[in-house]
Amino acid sequence: MGKIAFVFSGQGDQYPGMGKELAENYPVATKVFAMCDEIRSGTSSQCFAGSEEELKETKNTQPCLFAMELAAATVLTDAGITPDAVAGFSLGEIVACTVAGFVDEKTGFRLVCKRGELMQQAAEQVDSAMAAVIKLSREDVERLCKAFSDVYPVNYNCPGQITVAGLASQMTDFAAAVKAAGGRAIPLKVKGGFHSPFMREASASFASDLEGAELCQGRVTLYSNLTAEPYTEDVVGLLSAQICHPVRWEDTVRNMIAAGIDTFIEIGPGKTLTNMIGKIDAGVKTYCVSDLSTILSEVAPC
Protein backbone atom coordinates (compact mmCIF):
# COMPACT_ATOMS: atom_id res chain seq x y z
CA MET A 1 0.00 0.00 0.00
CA GLY A 2 1.23 3.49 -0.88
CA LYS A 3 -0.01 6.70 0.69
CA ILE A 4 -3.33 7.02 2.56
CA ALA A 5 -5.69 9.98 2.56
CA PHE A 6 -8.59 10.64 4.91
CA VAL A 7 -11.39 12.50 3.12
CA PHE A 8 -14.25 13.98 5.14
CA SER A 9 -17.73 14.33 3.69
CA GLY A 10 -20.07 17.32 3.69
CA GLN A 11 -23.78 17.83 4.10
CA GLY A 12 -26.28 15.52 2.46
CA ASP A 13 -25.49 12.04 3.83
CA GLN A 14 -26.52 12.74 7.42
CA TYR A 15 -29.06 10.38 8.98
CA PRO A 16 -30.64 9.79 12.42
CA GLY A 17 -28.45 7.49 14.49
CA MET A 18 -25.15 8.35 12.87
CA GLY A 19 -22.20 7.82 15.18
CA LYS A 20 -24.19 5.86 17.78
CA GLU A 21 -22.43 2.57 17.06
CA LEU A 22 -19.05 4.30 17.24
CA ALA A 23 -19.84 5.79 20.65
CA GLU A 24 -21.13 2.49 21.98
CA ASN A 25 -18.11 0.46 20.89
CA TYR A 26 -15.06 2.72 21.00
CA PRO A 27 -14.11 4.71 24.13
CA VAL A 28 -12.08 7.19 22.08
CA ALA A 29 -15.21 7.98 20.04
CA THR A 30 -17.28 8.35 23.21
CA LYS A 31 -14.74 10.89 24.41
CA VAL A 32 -15.10 12.94 21.22
CA PHE A 33 -18.89 13.10 21.55
CA ALA A 34 -18.54 14.08 25.21
CA MET A 35 -16.22 16.93 24.23
CA CYS A 36 -18.73 18.16 21.67
CA ASP A 37 -21.57 17.98 24.21
CA GLU A 38 -19.56 20.10 26.65
CA ILE A 39 -19.31 22.86 24.06
CA ARG A 40 -22.71 22.43 22.40
CA SER A 41 -25.19 20.64 24.64
CA GLY A 42 -27.24 17.94 22.93
CA THR A 43 -24.95 17.31 19.97
CA SER A 44 -24.64 13.55 20.58
CA SER A 45 -28.39 13.17 21.18
CA GLN A 46 -29.07 14.96 17.88
CA CYS A 47 -26.70 12.55 16.11
CA PHE A 48 -28.11 9.45 17.77
CA ALA A 49 -31.82 10.29 18.06
CA GLY A 50 -32.53 13.50 16.16
CA SER A 51 -35.14 13.48 13.41
CA GLU A 52 -34.22 13.65 9.74
CA GLU A 53 -35.79 17.11 9.55
CA GLU A 54 -33.81 18.31 12.56
CA LEU A 55 -30.57 17.09 11.02
CA LYS A 56 -31.32 18.94 7.78
CA GLU A 57 -31.00 22.27 9.57
CA THR A 58 -27.54 23.56 8.68
CA LYS A 59 -26.89 24.85 12.21
CA ASN A 60 -27.42 21.23 13.39
CA THR A 61 -26.01 19.33 10.42
CA GLN A 62 -22.54 20.81 10.54
CA PRO A 63 -21.70 20.25 14.23
CA CYS A 64 -23.29 16.80 14.17
CA LEU A 65 -21.31 15.71 11.12
CA PHE A 66 -18.14 17.15 12.63
CA ALA A 67 -18.70 15.14 15.82
CA MET A 68 -19.38 11.89 13.96
CA GLU A 69 -16.47 12.34 11.55
CA LEU A 70 -13.93 13.35 14.19
CA ALA A 71 -15.02 10.38 16.31
CA ALA A 72 -14.50 8.00 13.38
CA ALA A 73 -11.13 9.51 12.52
CA THR A 74 -10.05 9.12 16.14
CA VAL A 75 -10.99 5.43 16.08
CA LEU A 76 -8.82 4.95 12.99
CA THR A 77 -5.80 6.82 14.32
CA ASP A 78 -6.12 5.01 17.65
CA ALA A 79 -5.84 1.76 15.66
CA GLY A 80 -2.62 3.00 14.05
CA ILE A 81 -4.12 4.12 10.73
CA THR A 82 -2.71 7.58 10.05
CA PRO A 83 -3.15 9.68 6.91
CA ASP A 84 -0.41 11.04 4.70
CA ALA A 85 -2.83 13.73 3.53
CA VAL A 86 -6.35 14.91 4.30
CA ALA A 87 -9.11 16.79 2.52
CA GLY A 88 -12.71 17.56 3.28
CA PHE A 89 -15.73 18.42 1.19
CA SER A 90 -17.21 21.75 2.33
CA LEU A 91 -17.75 21.46 6.11
CA GLY A 92 -15.58 18.33 5.96
CA GLU A 93 -12.63 20.65 5.42
CA ILE A 94 -13.06 21.89 9.00
CA VAL A 95 -12.75 18.29 10.25
CA ALA A 96 -9.76 17.73 7.96
CA CYS A 97 -8.18 20.94 9.27
CA THR A 98 -8.62 19.65 12.83
CA VAL A 99 -7.23 16.17 12.12
CA ALA A 100 -4.27 17.76 10.30
CA GLY A 101 -3.47 19.76 13.42
CA PHE A 102 -4.12 23.29 12.14
CA VAL A 103 -6.57 23.73 15.04
CA ASP A 104 -7.20 21.68 18.17
CA GLU A 105 -10.37 19.62 18.53
CA LYS A 106 -12.27 22.10 20.69
CA THR A 107 -11.39 25.00 18.43
CA GLY A 108 -12.40 23.03 15.34
CA PHE A 109 -15.76 22.16 16.87
CA ARG A 110 -16.44 25.75 17.96
CA LEU A 111 -15.57 26.94 14.46
CA VAL A 112 -17.89 24.47 12.75
CA CYS A 113 -20.73 25.44 15.08
CA LYS A 114 -20.25 29.08 14.14
CA ARG A 115 -19.92 28.21 10.45
CA GLY A 116 -23.20 26.31 10.52
CA GLU A 117 -25.00 29.20 12.19
CA LEU A 118 -23.61 31.77 9.74
CA MET A 119 -24.43 29.70 6.67
CA GLN A 120 -27.97 29.02 7.88
CA GLN A 121 -28.50 32.73 8.52
CA ALA A 122 -27.26 33.52 5.01
CA ALA A 123 -29.49 30.82 3.53
CA GLU A 124 -32.54 32.21 5.31
CA GLN A 125 -32.02 35.61 3.71
CA VAL A 126 -32.66 34.32 0.20
CA ASP A 127 -34.83 31.52 -1.20
CA SER A 128 -32.12 29.41 -2.80
CA ALA A 129 -31.58 25.75 -3.61
CA MET A 130 -29.02 23.31 -4.94
CA ALA A 131 -29.08 20.53 -7.53
CA ALA A 132 -26.59 17.99 -8.86
CA VAL A 133 -26.30 18.12 -12.64
CA ILE A 134 -25.31 14.80 -14.20
CA LYS A 135 -24.37 13.65 -17.71
CA LEU A 136 -22.98 17.04 -18.77
CA SER A 137 -19.43 18.39 -18.89
CA ARG A 138 -18.30 21.20 -16.64
CA GLU A 139 -18.13 23.46 -19.69
CA ASP A 140 -21.75 22.68 -20.57
CA VAL A 141 -22.91 23.37 -17.01
CA GLU A 142 -21.00 26.65 -16.87
CA ARG A 143 -22.56 27.70 -20.16
CA LEU A 144 -26.08 26.89 -18.96
CA CYS A 145 -25.55 28.76 -15.69
CA LYS A 146 -24.51 31.90 -17.55
CA ALA A 147 -27.98 32.04 -19.12
CA PHE A 148 -29.45 32.67 -15.66
CA SER A 149 -28.81 35.70 -13.49
CA ASP A 150 -28.53 33.77 -10.23
CA VAL A 151 -27.52 30.15 -10.89
CA TYR A 152 -23.91 29.18 -10.27
CA PRO A 153 -21.70 26.06 -10.62
CA VAL A 154 -20.51 25.44 -7.06
CA ASN A 155 -19.18 21.89 -6.63
CA TYR A 156 -17.01 20.27 -9.29
CA ASN A 157 -17.56 16.75 -7.96
CA CYS A 158 -16.36 14.30 -10.62
CA PRO A 159 -16.64 13.77 -14.37
CA GLY A 160 -20.26 14.23 -15.39
CA GLN A 161 -21.42 15.62 -12.05
CA ILE A 162 -21.47 19.31 -11.15
CA THR A 163 -23.54 20.80 -8.33
CA VAL A 164 -25.18 24.16 -8.89
CA ALA A 165 -26.77 26.67 -6.52
CA GLY A 166 -29.35 29.24 -7.49
CA LEU A 167 -32.45 31.18 -6.66
CA ALA A 168 -35.29 28.74 -6.12
CA SER A 169 -37.40 30.73 -8.58
CA GLN A 170 -34.91 29.98 -11.36
CA MET A 171 -34.16 26.34 -10.64
CA THR A 172 -37.18 24.86 -12.46
CA ASP A 173 -36.27 26.63 -15.68
CA PHE A 174 -32.62 25.72 -15.17
CA ALA A 175 -33.55 22.04 -14.76
CA ALA A 176 -35.51 22.25 -18.00
CA ALA A 177 -32.48 23.73 -19.76
CA VAL A 178 -30.32 20.93 -18.40
CA LYS A 179 -32.78 18.32 -19.69
CA ALA A 180 -32.85 19.95 -23.11
CA ALA A 181 -29.03 19.75 -23.19
CA GLY A 182 -29.13 16.00 -22.46
CA GLY A 183 -28.49 16.10 -18.73
CA ARG A 184 -30.49 15.82 -15.53
CA ALA A 185 -30.73 18.11 -12.51
CA ILE A 186 -31.34 16.30 -9.19
CA PRO A 187 -32.44 18.49 -6.24
CA LEU A 188 -30.28 18.12 -3.12
CA LYS A 189 -31.58 17.84 0.46
CA VAL A 190 -29.87 20.96 1.75
CA LYS A 191 -31.44 24.25 2.75
CA GLY A 192 -29.46 26.96 1.01
CA GLY A 193 -27.30 27.88 -1.95
CA PHE A 194 -23.90 27.06 -0.50
CA HIS A 195 -20.52 27.90 -2.05
CA SER A 196 -22.13 30.65 -4.10
CA PRO A 197 -22.29 34.46 -3.91
CA PHE A 198 -25.31 34.01 -1.61
CA MET A 199 -22.79 33.11 1.12
CA ARG A 200 -20.54 36.18 0.91
CA GLU A 201 -21.73 37.65 4.20
CA ALA A 202 -21.22 34.32 5.98
CA SER A 203 -17.74 34.08 4.50
CA ALA A 204 -16.75 37.53 5.76
CA SER A 205 -18.13 36.86 9.24
CA PHE A 206 -16.38 33.49 9.43
CA ALA A 207 -13.08 35.12 8.51
CA SER A 208 -13.44 37.28 11.63
CA ASP A 209 -14.02 34.17 13.76
CA LEU A 210 -10.95 32.51 12.27
CA GLU A 211 -8.85 35.59 12.98
CA GLY A 212 -9.66 35.15 16.67
CA ALA A 213 -8.87 31.42 16.74
CA GLU A 214 -5.54 29.89 17.69
CA LEU A 215 -4.12 28.43 14.49
CA CYS A 216 -1.15 26.08 14.27
CA GLN A 217 1.31 25.00 11.59
CA GLY A 218 -0.33 21.63 10.95
CA ARG A 219 1.34 18.23 10.87
CA VAL A 220 -0.36 16.56 7.87
CA THR A 221 -0.76 17.84 4.31
CA LEU A 222 -4.20 19.43 3.96
CA TYR A 223 -5.77 20.10 0.56
CA SER A 224 -7.95 23.16 0.00
CA ASN A 225 -11.43 23.21 -1.53
CA LEU A 226 -10.66 26.66 -2.92
CA THR A 227 -7.41 25.90 -4.75
CA ALA A 228 -7.37 22.06 -4.94
CA GLU A 229 -3.76 22.39 -3.72
CA PRO A 230 -2.10 21.86 -0.34
CA TYR A 231 -2.67 24.60 2.21
CA THR A 232 -0.40 27.60 2.36
CA GLU A 233 0.04 29.73 5.47
CA ASP A 234 -3.20 31.63 4.70
CA VAL A 235 -5.48 29.35 6.68
CA VAL A 236 -7.96 32.16 7.40
CA GLY A 237 -8.28 33.11 3.74
CA LEU A 238 -8.62 29.55 2.46
CA LEU A 239 -11.16 28.40 5.04
CA SER A 240 -13.34 31.50 4.86
CA ALA A 241 -13.32 31.95 1.08
CA GLN A 242 -14.43 28.36 0.41
CA ILE A 243 -17.85 29.20 1.89
CA CYS A 244 -18.72 31.42 -1.09
CA HIS A 245 -16.58 29.79 -3.80
CA PRO A 246 -16.82 26.44 -5.63
CA VAL A 247 -15.49 23.20 -4.15
CA ARG A 248 -12.94 21.87 -6.66
CA TRP A 249 -13.23 18.26 -5.56
CA GLU A 250 -12.33 16.49 -8.82
CA ASP A 251 -9.17 18.58 -9.17
CA THR A 252 -8.32 17.99 -5.51
CA VAL A 253 -8.53 14.21 -5.85
CA ARG A 254 -6.49 14.23 -9.06
CA ASN A 255 -3.79 16.33 -7.37
CA MET A 256 -3.71 13.98 -4.37
CA ILE A 257 -3.30 10.97 -6.65
CA ALA A 258 -0.52 12.76 -8.55
CA ALA A 259 1.20 13.28 -5.18
CA GLY A 260 1.20 9.52 -4.52
CA ILE A 261 -2.11 8.90 -2.72
CA ASP A 262 -3.47 5.50 -3.76
CA THR A 263 -5.83 4.74 -0.87
CA PHE A 264 -8.74 6.97 0.16
CA ILE A 265 -10.73 6.45 3.35
CA GLU A 266 -14.01 8.35 3.34
CA ILE A 267 -14.94 9.46 6.83
CA GLY A 268 -18.61 10.37 7.12
CA PRO A 269 -22.04 8.78 7.29
CA GLY A 270 -22.34 7.80 3.63
CA LYS A 271 -20.48 6.85 0.45
CA THR A 272 -20.78 10.02 -1.61
CA LEU A 273 -17.06 10.78 -1.78
CA THR A 274 -16.21 7.11 -2.35
CA ASN A 275 -18.49 7.09 -5.38
CA MET A 276 -17.03 10.34 -6.70
CA ILE A 277 -13.44 9.17 -6.31
CA GLY A 278 -14.27 5.94 -8.16
CA LYS A 279 -15.50 8.01 -11.11
CA ILE A 280 -12.43 10.22 -11.02
CA ASP A 281 -9.94 7.33 -11.00
CA ALA A 282 -11.07 3.71 -10.76
CA GLY A 283 -7.48 2.61 -10.16
CA VAL A 284 -7.24 3.82 -6.56
CA LYS A 285 -8.46 1.90 -3.53
CA THR A 286 -11.37 3.37 -1.58
CA TYR A 287 -12.96 2.60 1.77
CA CYS A 288 -15.78 4.23 3.69
CA VAL A 289 -16.15 4.32 7.45
CA SER A 290 -19.45 2.43 7.31
CA ASP A 291 -17.22 -0.58 6.64
CA LEU A 292 -15.05 0.14 9.66
CA SER A 293 -14.30 -3.50 10.41
CA THR A 294 -12.94 -3.95 6.87
CA ILE A 295 -10.72 -0.89 7.21
CA LEU A 296 -9.37 -2.07 10.55
CA SER A 297 -8.59 -5.53 9.18
CA GLU A 298 -7.13 -4.51 5.82
CA VAL A 299 -5.45 -1.18 6.49
CA ALA A 300 -4.40 -1.22 10.14
CA PRO A 301 -0.68 -2.00 10.64
CA CYS A 302 0.19 -5.46 11.93
List 9, 44, 90, 224, catalytic entry? 90
List 195, 196, 205, 290, catalytic entry? 195
Measured distance CA(161)–CA(132) in Å, rounded: 7
Residue 195 falls in the annotated catalytic set: yes
Measured distance CA(286)–CA(291) in Å, rounded: 11
Measured distance CA(166)–CA(196) in Å, rounded: 8
C-alpha distances in angstroms, 60 versus 4, 9, 54, 235? 30, 15, 7, 24
Residue 90 falls in the annotated catalytic set: yes
C-alpha distances in angstroms, 116 versus 8, 100, 169, 280? 16, 21, 24, 29
The catalytic residues are 90, 195
